[in-house]
A and B are shown apart, each in its own frame.
Chain A
Amino acid sequence: MSGEPSVTDKFETTPDWQIVAVVMGIIYLAYIVSGFLIGFPLRGQINAIGNLTFYVAVFAMLSLALNLHWGYTGLFNIGVVAFMAIGVYTMAVLVKQPLSQDPTAQIGGLGLPIPVGMAAGVVVATVFGLIVSLPALRLRADYLAIVTIAFSEIMRFTFLETSIKTFTLFGTETGLGGGSGLVFNVPAPIDWLTSALYVRGPYLDFVGWFGTTLGIGNPKAVVDNLVYSIILVLVVVAFYWLLQRIGRSPFGRVLKAIREDEDVARALGKDTDWFKMQSFMVGCGLMGLVGVLWMYDQGAINPNNFRPRLTFYAWIALIIGGAGSNTGSVLGGAIFAALLFQGPVYAKNLVTTAVGSGSAPQTFAGAVAPLGNLDPGPFAYYVLGNINQLQIVFMGVVLIWLMHNRPEGLLGHRSEEAAAVDLTDRPVVSDGGEVDE
């Protein structure tokens, strides 16, 4: 506001992609530096980068999918995790080997190819999106919130349910596994992918070369992890491409109008229920895909992976980045993953390396009492010992700070014009009339 450009002014005028690039640079640099400070060996360092990239990617994807619901259409979906669960459970049931092939498994599957399972996961999540949206979207906006949160818990209890722990589907015995969940028991993502692409030999050669060159023993797990994360980054790019395409189109324009004032959209002849349904279904399908890509890599799933907490993580990522902006969604996903999701554990390691892990008091009172004697040690150790619980507190603090200081998120105020062409570029009226982008 004043004469000389402040940091905020500079931020406002910097192109989005530069902000993303700078933030990513800072995040990775910080992780590498703290990795060295902690004293990670090279193997640990690479593994840490792989993990960071993995979480940056999945939260960016979740945030993008949620942005279609909330940022574009104003649909308040707080049941994100249910659609992730539906996606990956569908996949697991379809791709697990039948009991006849894999008699040691607790629960059998249909033994279908992995791509079929993935696609079915997305389709079934989409269909559930339709089912949930049918009653909810016709009601007032906040009903969708109630319906989705309820739905996500109902789904979790359904997965926990013992009566459908096993059942018969198309004559094959299968099931959802109840509380103990499902173990995939199929090749891990990279193993499957390299075989499917007939590059298994060269890939293993590369892994071996990588290990000897850098002096890492047993490099396969580390390299697999890193390669899978990079593949996920490519999927983020695909998500981004799709959502930009949707956002910058007449379809996206109607979604935006619905978010702003649904009555106006209807008065202009738009069948808003149908648009909301489509937006909801596409977002749910994408969430199903995130579930598939995230959990398939873990090798096993159980209902406790799908607590509502995960939904709120997606929301925090979106709010940090700024609802309404796809670039912001990616940025929010990255910042959330690096700072709030992985960050505290890293900070703990860092501090523990620096000052050693003293004996933490058992109770909060035991931690606070010595503060009276100006001895912060026990309190600090107590904090470190409970870092996982405190993570949630940090998230709360960040959210409150954002609400007060930047409710629109980092990039939410930057309107991304909802049109397939640049509107401000007034067409020159010439006799030919040019048709280009």
Chain B
Amino acid sequence: MSETAESDAAGDAESPSVAGLGGGSPDMAEYPLQVEDLRKQFGGITAVDGVSFEIEAGTMTGLIGPNGAGKSTTFNCITGMYDPDGGTVTFNGEDVTGMDPHDIAQRGLVRTFQIARELSDMTVLENMMLAPKGQRGERLWQSVLPGTRDRVIEQETELVEQVWDALEFFDIDHLASERAGNLSGGQRKLLELARAMLTDPDMLLLDEPFAGVNPTLEARLLEHVHELRKQGYTFLIVEHDMDLIMNNCERVIVMHQGKLLTDGTPEEVRSDEEVIEAYLGGQA
């Protein structure tokens, strides 16, 4: 029950293929995430109704759809927060359907929440220090016994450095000692994104990560996301800002009433009649 995978993160350490699309890092599957006929019901409501898609390594895919389309529920089913009623989820070639959320996260598939879930009575620093995988001191005896405690402290010292760098990058270093509960909505989003990044995932599922983040910072974060993407990280992003999706994603998946409506390049989606009707509405 307690196996901690310390080897997981090794996969993306070296990524020789810097050149554009198609070439993820070598030992990651070409399609790290495969979702097959996913279903989830809540009483009478079918929130996710037979959704299938594949996400290509090293890409950024947008998942869009009107409110209540089932986007967040899809995320919850993929990451083990909900048990899907049907279908399969495959991550890096392994069937992870119905696995515990922590097992899925340990494998490198990490999500953020639509409504930021900061750990409010912990400081920003504590929030961040929680994230890294393979922490020795998470074993009780290692943290307590005199001999092993020194090595825990050693690792903590390394992590603190990493954490401060991340805080600086996300522009929340001035809030480091603040209780996370005292942060503004946008700052919480940043904290959550930064925290998810620190787990060193292979793939990130971001549920409206930029809601409430100011445009300048949003642009910077997007730039960073693109950088990571080129290194082989994979992103699936739910976002209501159409321009953001159209300008930043190679591919867009549209959901409507629990079903997958369209799946294609931004141009294809933009010109799709059904999408215009269901989602873009008057905009077109």
Chain A residues engaging chain B, CB cutoff 8 angstroms? 242, 245-246, 249-254, 256-257, 259-261, 263-275, 278, 282, 324, 415, 417-421, 423-427, 429, 433-437
Give Cα distance in the complex from A423 to B177, angstroms.
8
- With A282-B140, A423-B126 known as contacts, the answer to whether A272 contacts B102 (CB < 8 A) is yes
Contact of A417 among B2, B113, B119, B126 (CB under 8 A): B126
Give Cα distance in the complex from A311 to B161, angstroms.
43
* A-B pairs with beta carbons under 8 Å apart, 12 shown: A242-B144, A245-B144, A249-B143, A264-B113, A264-B119, A268-B110, A268-B130, A271-B1, A423-B123, A427-B157, A427-B161, A436-B157
Residues 105-154 of B at the A interface (beta carbon under 8 Å)? 105-106, 110-111, 113, 117, 119-123, 125-126, 129-131, 133, 135-140, 143-144, 149, 152-154
Chain A residues contacting B160 (CB-CB under 8 Å) are 419, 421, 423, 425-427
> Is B211 part of the binding interface, using a Cβ–Cβ cutoff of 8 Å?
no
- With A420-B152, A421-B160 known as contacts, the answer to whether A269 contacts B106 (CB < 8 A) is yes
Chain B residues contacting A254 (CB-CB under 8 Å) are 130, 138
Contact of A260 among B103, B121, B153, B177 (CB under 8 A): B121
Contact string against A for B residues 30-50, beta-carbon threshold 8 Å, 1 for contact and 0 otherwise: 000000000000000000000
Give Cα distance in the complex from A272 to B80, angstroms.
14
B interface, size bucket? 35 or more
CB distance from A186 to the nearest CB of B (A): 31
- Is A415 a contact of B179 with CB atoms below 8 Å? yes
Chain B residues contacting A256 (CB-CB under 8 Å) are 119, 121-122, 126
Give Cα distance in the complex from A75 to B133, angstroms.
24
> Is B176 part of the binding interface, using a Cβ–Cβ cutoff of 8 Å?
yes
Chain A residues contacting B136 (CB-CB under 8 Å) are 250
- Is A266 a contact of B102 with CB atoms below 8 Å? yes
Chain B residues contacting A257 (CB-CB under 8 Å) are 119, 122, 130
Give Cα distance in the complex from A268 to B157, angstroms.
20
> Is B156 part of the binding interface, using a Cβ–Cβ cutoff of 8 Å?
yes
- With A260-B120, A418-B122, A423-B129 known as contacts, the answer to whether A268 contacts B139 (CB < 8 A) is no
CB distance from A130 to the nearest CB of B (A): 12
- With A264-B119, A269-B105 known as contacts, the answer to whether A427 contacts B164 (CB < 8 A) is yes
The 9 closest A-B pairs by CB, nearest first: A250-B137, A249-B143, A269-B105, A260-B119, A423-B125, A266-B101, A250-B135, A269-B106, A421-B156
- Is A274 a contact of B135 with CB atoms below 8 Å? no
Chain B residues contacting A274 (CB-CB under 8 Å) are 1-2
- Is B100 a contact of A269 with CB atoms below 8 Å? no
- Is A415 a contact of B143 with CB atoms below 8 Å? no
Question: Which of B111, B133, B164 gathers the greatest number of chain A CB atoms within 10 Å?
Answer: B164
Give Cα distance in the complex from A137 to B122, angstroms.
23
> Is B225 part of the binding interface, using a Cβ–Cβ cutoff of 8 Å?
no
Chain B residues contacting A272 (CB-CB under 8 Å) are 102
- Is B1 a contact of A253 with CB atoms below 8 Å? no
CB distance from B127 to the nearest CB of A (A): 8
- Is B156 a contact of A420 with CB atoms below 8 Å? yes
> Is B195 part of the binding interface, using a Cβ–Cβ cutoff of 8 Å?
yes
In the complex, the chain A residue whose C-beta lies closest to that of B125 is A423
CB distance from A246 to the nearest CB of B (A): 6
CB distance from A328 to the nearest CB of B (A): 14
Known: A257-B130, A424-B125. 15 other contacts (CB 8 A): A246-B140, A249-B144, A253-B126, A253-B129, A260-B122, A263-B101, A266-B101, A267-B105, A269-B110, A278-B140, A423-B129, A423-B160, A424-B177, A426-B160, A426-B176
Question: Which of B81, B126, B133 gathers the greatest number of chain A CB atoms within 10 Å?
Answer: B126
Chain B residues engaging chain A, CB cutoff 8 angstroms? 1-2, 79, 81, 100-103, 105-106, 110-111, 113, 117, 119-123, 125-126, 129-131, 133, 135-140, 143-144, 149, 152-154, 156-157, 160-161, 163-164, 176-177, 179, 195-196, 199
Chain B residues contacting A251 (CB-CB under 8 Å) are 137-140, 143
- Is A415 a contact of B2 with CB atoms below 8 Å? no
Chain B residues contacting A261 (CB-CB under 8 Å) are 117, 119
Give Cα distance in the complex from A253 to B121, angstroms.
12
In the complex, the chain A residue whose C-beta lies closest to that of B1 is A274
Question: Which of A246, A253, A268 gathers the greatest number of chain B CB atoms within 10 Å?
Answer: A268
Contact of B161 among A242, A278, A420, A429 (CB under 8 A): A429
Give Cα distance in the complex from A90 to B139, angstroms.
29
CB distance from B118 to the nearest CB of A (A): 8
Chain A residues contacting B164 (CB-CB under 8 Å) are 426-427
- Is B126 a contact of A273 with CB atoms below 8 Å? no
Chain A residues contacting B156 (CB-CB under 8 Å) are 250, 419-421
In the complex, the chain A residue whose C-beta lies closest to that of B79 is A267
CB distance from A11 to the nearest CB of B (A): 20
In the complex, the chain B residue whose C-beta lies closest to that of A252 is B143
In the complex, the chain A residue whose C-beta lies closest to that of B104 is A269
- Is B117 a contact of A264 with CB atoms below 8 Å? yes
- With A249-B152, A264-B119, A265-B130 known as contacts, the answer to whether A421 contacts B157 (CB < 8 A) is yes
- With A251-B137, A427-B157 known as contacts, the answer to whether A273 contacts B1 (CB < 8 A) is yes
Give Cα distance in the complex from A424 to B133, angstroms.
21
Chain A residues contacting B1 (CB-CB under 8 Å) are 271, 273-274
Give Cα distance in the complex from A260 to B181, angstroms.
11
Chain A residues contacting B138 (CB-CB under 8 Å) are 250-251, 254, 270, 275
Chain B residues contacting A275 (CB-CB under 8 Å) are 138
Give Cα distance in the complex from A434 to B121, angstroms.
30
Chain B residues contacting A263 (CB-CB under 8 Å) are 81, 101, 117
Give Cα distance in the complex from A427 to B130, angstroms.
18
- Is B133 a contact of A269 with CB atoms below 8 Å? yes
Chain A residues contacting B137 (CB-CB under 8 Å) are 249-251, 420
Chain B residues contacting A246 (CB-CB under 8 Å) are 140, 143-144
CB distance from A428 to the nearest CB of B (A): 10
